Amino acid sequence: MDSKTIMTGLFGHPVGHSLSPLMHNQAFDVCRLNYRYAPFDIPPEQIGQAVAGIRALGFRGVNVTIPHKVAVMPYLDEVDEEAKIIGAVNTIVNDNGRLIGYNTDGRGYVRSLIEETGIVLEEQSVLMVGAGGAARGVAVALLQKGVVDLVIANRSFDKAESLANDLQSAIPGKRVTAISLEEIGSSISKRTLLVQTTSIGMSPKVSESPVPKDLLHKNLLISDLIYNPLKTQIQKDGEEIGCRTHSGVGMFIYQGALSFEYWTNHKAPIEEMRKVVMSKLEMR
């Protein structure tokens, strides 16, 4: 490779808190690749110009985070089928001037869940709490990778029902139903995997949980997408009664690893990426 540095980065608003630059630059260094990753705080009204800048500046690609994951889509030349179903893009690849959008969030989550817990998705009955963008990506990946029975619980029943209907249309042959948060009690006893996709329990409101402790049971694996704090209140509650738990750190690392592989065509150094992220999180 010549001496020219190949640029990648993150488009978001804000982006100052992100650990992605730390993680990706560590991965590039470990693999001895002449790539760099930088954060770019893009106001919503400038997202079209920013996407055009990927081409103009010869970037290999970028990650996309809140609030731009949907807004970037009209400016791309192509959107991957999975990203179309999810309705959001978190990774853009510049293929010789042609910008292609992907979504690695859901696949990153599932890869982390399977590798870190040994779970067999085909055997799980899933309760998902939340029906936002994160829930959509994770639900698509879970259903595509083997889950056949998914219940979505959300504060707004209409939003849960809309997501359930979208998923049934996009991925036929699965059983996807919607309930309100108040109905969790009547459903949770039959579930083996609880996936928490909301911001409840995130710093600074670390003592909150979307599911009362007395509804949890020891046959649940509790998976929370939050990774700050490293252990959320619902995970602590579950561990006290004998539940297994799974952290959101893995999803963050694996979604980044998939982006890294799209850009570089190299296998991502997962353990080195995990190490640098964990060391930063443990300092907080």
Write down the residue that tokens 């963008």 correspond to. Answer: 133
Is 142 part of a structural domain of the chain?
Answer: yes
User: Please, where are the H alpha helices in 98-213?
Assistant: 105-117, 133-144, 157-170, 184-187
Q: Are residues 119 and 59 in the same domain?
A: no
Could you tell me if 199 and 97 are in contact, meaning their C-beta atoms sit under 8 angstroms apart?
no
Distance CA 99, CA 84 (A): 15
What's the domain count of the chain? 2
- Identify the residue whose tokens are 């590798």: 115
Q: What is the tens place of the pLDDT at every residue in 114-159?
A: 999 999 999 999 999 999 889 999 999 999 999 999 999 999 999 9
Give me the domain span that covers residue 131.
Answer: 106-247
Low-confidence spans in the chain with pLDDT less than 70: 1-2, 284
pTM over 0.75: yes
- For residues 93 and 242, give the distance between their C-alpha atoms in angstroms, rounded to a whole number: 43
Looking at the structure, tell me whether residues 27 and 116 fall in a common domain: no
pLDDT of residue 228: 85
Active-site positions read: 69
Answer yes or no: is 1 within a domain: no
Question: What's the rounded Cα separation, in Å, for the pair 129 and 280?
Answer: 28
221 lies in some domain: yes
φ and ψ of 67, to 5 deg? -105, 30
pLDDT of residue 95: 98
Q: In the prediction, which pLDDT does 1 show?
A: 43
Q: Kindly state whether residues 92 and 198 are assigned to the same domain.
A: no
CATH assignment at residue 13 = 3.40.50.10860
* The pLDDT of residue 251: 95
The tens digit of pLDDT for each residue in 249-277 reads: 999 999 999 999 999 999 999 999 999 99
Return the residue matching tokens 């990753």: 37
CB 13 within 8 A of CB 37: no
Q: Which residues 6+ apart lie within 8 Å of 169 measured at CB?
A: none
